[in-house]
Amino acid sequence: MDAEVYILGPRKLQNKFMASFLQKATGLKCTDRSDSDLNPVLEEEHDRPFLILLDCLGNDIDWFWIGLCIGVNSRRNKCFVALFNVARDEGLECEAINHGARGIFFENDSPDLLAKGVLGILKGELWFSRENLVEWLVRAENYKNSLVNKEVILTLRQTEILAMAVSGISNPDIAEKLCISQCTVKAHLHNIYRKIDVPNRFQAAIWACKNL
Domains of the chain by range and CATH?
Answer: 4-129 (3.40.50.2300), 147-211 (1.10.10.10)
Q: What is the pLDDT of residues 106-117, one digit of tens each?
A: 989 999 999 999
Q: How many residues does the chain have?
A: 212
Q: Are 126 and 136 in contact (CB under 8 A)?
A: no
Predicted local distance difference test score (pLDDT) of residue 143 = 58
| pTM, 2 dp | 0.65
Helix (H) or strand (E) run with residue 79 in it: strand 79-86
Q: How far is CA 148 from the centre of its chain?
A: 26
Rounded CA-CA distance 64/187 in Å is: 25
Q: Which segments in the chain show pLDDT lower than 70?
A: 36-37, 58-77, 137, 139-152, 212
Residues contacting 79, CB < 8 A, separation 6+: 42, 46, 49, 50, 51, 52, 71, 72
pLDDT single digits (tens) 99-155? 778 899 998 999 999 999 999 999 888 898 888 777 776 766 665 655 554 566 788
CB 150 within 8 A of CB 194: no
- In this structure, the strands spanning 4-8 and 50-55 are parallel
